[in-house]
């Protein structure tokens, strides 16, 4: 099972292109599949009298800086994704040909923006679902129906209280959307405290519940107190996080409902190794039709033994067999 790991850089670049690049490089080194920034234009987010308007202004970067980041992402072989908040940021995201855009939970019912995104050239949409109701999600997915949609559960609670994660919603929505929206994936945005023992566990639990996309905040160093550091991992921690996610996804595998569940060659070898051999539990005479009470399973030195008891039931013995002797294919008809 392949899991997409998004390094959520959010506003951590603080409007500085060099800082944005260093975060991207840390994400690439840390095993992320994609990096995601908030593409902020203050006037898309707030009115000038809002208390954080000037902060939003400080996060704005020239289009050329975003172009350089796009080029860097190609060189580092990591996907570039952007949070967009309006027409201007959407158009720039299109121009940059990003791998995905994210719509914040605030815009889950923003019909105008949803329709703009639906008509855009962006193929993949991350739909922020923190705080969203089921009818809002369904409406948004209907509008975005021609796109690849990832419903991204989880929300930033600075950090999120553990009992508010509700990871059970992953499997619930996966089953709910399966028939009507087979193209929709479910993801989980992990906002556990970086000091918590759950900082790696929550995302792996989400994978077990069916999540195929995991988002996790990354910072250059929590001691630097950069923007959006509250639930972020340091670069070395993010590498451990990524490796843990990938190993857990490998362990989860992809079973199918066929006779052997599509088991691995290793498990097939284990099955062959542990099977005991069919032996005579009593002395058998020529012409006996084998019954369960006459047979046992034991380890023997026989080569090419029979290991499946049911395959010999009612078969006829050709010649006498002493107790404890393995029964071979040549002994039965």
DSSP conformation letters of 242-266: HHHHHHHHHHH----SSTTTT--HH
Q: Are 183 and 307 in the same domain? A: no
Residue 1 above 80 pLDDT?
no
Look at residue 230 in the predicted model and tell me its pLDDT.
Answer: 87
**Considering the chain, what is the average pLDDT of its residues?**
95
Residues 6+ apart with CB under 8 A from 266: none
CATH number of the domain bearing residue 276: 3.90.1210.10
CATH number of the domain bearing residue 13: 3.20.20.70
- With respect to residue 259, please indicate whether it lies within any of the assigned structural domains: no
Look at residue 217 in the predicted model and tell me its pLDDT.
Answer: 95
Q: Are 144 and 287 in the same domain? A: no
Look at residue 224 in the predicted model and tell me its pLDDT.
Answer: 84
Mean pLDDT of 262-273: 90
Q: Are 147 and 204 in the same domain? A: yes
Q: What percent of the chain has pLDDT over 90?
A: 84
Q: Are 11 and 91 in the same domain? A: yes
Report CA dihedral (70, 23, 191, 177) to the nearest 10 degrees.
20
Beta partners for residue 163, in sequence order: none
Dihedral sign for Cα atoms in the order 129, 133, 136, 141: positive
Nearest to 237, CA basis, from 193, 207, 186: 193
Kindly state the tokens that stand for 80.
């570039």
Residues 6+ apart with CB under 8 A from 281: 293, 294, 295, 296, 323
Q: Are 302 and 165 in the same domain? A: no
pTM of the predicted structure, to 2 decimals: 0.86
Measure the CA–CA gap between 192 and 196, rounded to whole angstroms: 7
- With respect to residue 134, please indicate whether it lies within any of the assigned structural domains: yes
Look at residue 141 in the predicted model and tell me its pLDDT.
Answer: 97
Q: What is the DSSP letter of 166?
A: -
Write the pLDDT tens digit of every residue in 142-182. Answer: 999 999 999 999 998 888 888 899 999 999 999 999 889 98
Write the pLDDT tens digit of every residue in 48-78. Answer: 999 999 999 999 999 999 999 999 999 999 9
Dihedral sign for Cα atoms in the order 156, 119, 148, 98: negative
Please check whether residue 237 is in contact with residue 196, taking contact to mean a CB–CB distance below 8 angstroms. Answer: no
Please check whether residue 118 is in contact with residue 147, taking contact to mean a CB–CB distance below 8 angstroms. Answer: yes
Please tell me the least confidently modeled range out of 11-25, 54-68, 227-241: 227-241
Look at residue 86 in the predicted model and tell me its pLDDT.
Answer: 98
Q: In which domain, by residue range, is 107 found?
A: 4-252
């Amino acid at each position: 099972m392949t899991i997409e790991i998004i390094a959520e850089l959010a506003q951590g670049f603080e409007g500085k292109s060099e800082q944005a690049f260093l975060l991207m490089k840390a994400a690439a080194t840390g095993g992320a599949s994609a990096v995601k920034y908030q593409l902020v234009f203050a006037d898309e987010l707030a009115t000038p009298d809002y208390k954080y308007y000037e902060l939003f202004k400080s996060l704005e970067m020239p289009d050329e800086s975003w172009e350089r980041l796009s080029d860097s992402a190609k060189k580092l072989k990591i996907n570039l994704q952007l949070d967009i908040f309006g027409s201007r940021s959407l158009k720039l995201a299109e121009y940059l040909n990003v791998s995905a855009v994210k719509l914040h939970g605030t815009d889950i019912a923003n019909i105008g923006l949803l329709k703009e995104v639906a008509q855009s050239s962006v193929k993949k949409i991350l739909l922020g679902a923190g705080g969203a109701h089921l009818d809002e999600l369904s409406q948004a997915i209907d509008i975005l129906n021609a796109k690849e949609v990832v419903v991204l559960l989880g929300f930033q609670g600075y950090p999120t209280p553990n009992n508010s994660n509700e990871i059970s919603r992953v499997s619930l929505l996966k089953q709910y959307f399966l028939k009507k929206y087979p193209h929709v994936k479910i993801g989980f945005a992990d906002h556990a405290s970086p000091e918590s023992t759950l900082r790696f566990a929550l995302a792996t639990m989400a994978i077990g519940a069916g999540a195929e996309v995991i988002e996790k905040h990354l910072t250059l160093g929590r001691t630097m107190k950069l923007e959006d550091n509250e639930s972020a991992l340091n670069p070395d921690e993010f590498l451990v996080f990524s490796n843990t996610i990938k190993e857990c996804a490998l362990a989860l595998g992809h079973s199918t409902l066929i006779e052997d569940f599509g088991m691995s060659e290793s498990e097939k070898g284990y099955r062959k190794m542990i099977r005991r051999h069919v032996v005579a539990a009593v002395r058998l005479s020529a012409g006996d039709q084998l019954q369960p009470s006459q047979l046992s399973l034991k380890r023997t030195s026989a080569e090419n033994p029979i290991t499946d008891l049911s395959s010999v039931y009612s078969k006829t013995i050709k010649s006498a067999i002493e107790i404890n002797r393995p029964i071979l294919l040549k002994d039965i008809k």
